């Protein structure tokens, strides 16, 4: 019997119940494994940024049908307080969704699976990649006086200027080594904690 597709669902979402026994479907970009091809297809939207579920009221797109359903509560006034039911097994930090937890776990592992198509930068989450695209590869009203590269945010230009000035405002509390960016310091500190 063929399953019925509900309004707002795609074939991909509906097919998530079909499983191929004994087969593993592996993401070629990050290596994550799935038992169902449709789960891999849903996962690939993380890398592609595809958001096929569109809100009819505001036009915002979502990767999953259930996220659109949750979003719609904003318009209906039925929004409920988010419950942080996803917790990190390494540090105990809690998150409202599995995607946020996954981005957090990438930080623990030092993985940056979201690559910019325009430059060689990589990121922990799609959100950070999207912010980078906005800051570095779209409307650029703040230009670097040293090299001419443009940025859409003043704060991003200020961070960029550290390349030219040599400023390193973040220092390691364990060894005193300094870094121009907070994420560089965070990655360095993880190495200290891994050794102990």
CATH number of the domain within which 30 lies: 3.30.160.60
pLDDT-derived band of residue 115, with 50, 70 and 90 as boundaries?
confident
Q: Per the confidence metrics, is the pTM higher than 0.75?
A: no
pLDDT-derived band of residue 21, with 50, 70 and 90 as boundaries?
low
Does pLDDT of 114 surpass 50? yes
| Residues with Cβ within 8 Å of residue 58, at least 6 apart in sequence | 75
**Range of the structural domain that residue 38 is part of:** 25-76
Question: By mean pLDDT, which of 16-25, 27-36, 101-110, 168-177 is the weakest?
Answer: 16-25
Give the total number of structural domains in the chain: 3
Nearest C-alpha neighbor of 37 from the set 25, 52, 55, 50: 25
pLDDT tens for each residue of 126-156: 888 888 877 777 666 777 888 877 777 788 8
Could you tell me if residue 16 is inside a domain? no
Over its C-alpha atoms, the chain yields an Rg (Å, rounded) of 21
Could you tell me if residue 20 is inside a domain? no
Percentage of the chain beyond pLDDT 90 is: 7
Could you tell me if residue 63 is inside a domain? yes
């Amino acid at each position: 019997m063929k399953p019925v597709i509900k309004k707002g669902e795609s074939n991909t979402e509906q097919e998530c119940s079909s499983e191929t026994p004994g087969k593993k479907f592996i993401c070629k970009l990050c290596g994550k494994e799935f038992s169902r091809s449709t789960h891999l297809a849903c996962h690939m939207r993380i890398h592609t940024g595809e958001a096929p579920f569109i809100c009819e009221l505001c036009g915002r797109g979502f990767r999953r049908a259930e996220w659109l359903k949750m979003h719609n509560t904003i318009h209906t006034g039925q929004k409920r307080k988010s419950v942080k039911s996803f917790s990190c097994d390494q540090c105990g930090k809690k998150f409202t969704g599995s995607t946020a937890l996954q981005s957090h776990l990438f930080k623990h592992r030092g993985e940056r699976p979201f690559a910019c198509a325009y430059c060689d930068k990589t990121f922990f989450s799609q959100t950070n990649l999207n912010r980078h695209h906005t800051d570095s590869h779209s409307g650029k009203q703040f230009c670097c006086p040293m090299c001419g590269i443009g940025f859409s945010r003043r704060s991003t230009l200020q961070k960029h200027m550290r390349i030219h000035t040599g400023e390193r405002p973040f220092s390691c509390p364990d060894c005193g080594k300094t870094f121009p960016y907070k994420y560089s310091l965070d990655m360095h500190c993880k190495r200290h904690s891994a050794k102990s």
